[in-house]
Amino acid sequence: MRRRAGVMATCAVAFCLTLAGCSNGAPEPAPTTSAPDGGTAECTVDLITAAVRADFEANYPGSTFVSLDAFACEDSWAKADAQFEASGSTFPTVVLLQAQNGAWVAVTIESACQASQQDSGIPATIYDEVCGTN
């Protein structure tokens, strides 16, 4: 689906951090990735979770962040699989992040996926998982 942080207009964060690294027993991604500004952004569970949490707090008030289930980083991009709770139900979501000025910042999937993979600059692996194949 081409949604980030769910379809609900009311998603917020009462934060419950789950230190869940990568799913399927995969090792945590490389510690740093190149950022467009020439700096680096660390690819750690704490920083990815903080970026997802900040996105939820800023854009989806009224719900609860439940967990970061998995994430992957490549170049200056990251994909995070997370769970949030709203109205008594838990929903999975995907958040697309980009390294900016040494930090991870959520990017609207709809905007990112309007361009082809090559034009977007998003690595093929992350683009295919987030946007599907075009």
- The pTM for the full model equals 0.71
Segment 13-64, tens digit of pLDDT: 222 222 233 333 334 444 455 544 444 699 999 999 999 999 988 888 888 8
> Tokens 């027993």 correspond to what residue?
25
Q: Bigger pLDDT: 74 or 30?
A: 74
* Residue 3 confidence (pLDDT) above 50: no
Backbone angles phi, psi at 16, to 5 degrees: -125, 100
> What is the Cα–Cα distance from 42 to 26, expressed in whole angstroms?
18
Domain residue limits, the chain: 32-127
Which CATH number describes the domain made up of 32-127?
3.10.450
| In contact, 12 and 61? CB cutoff 8 Å | yes
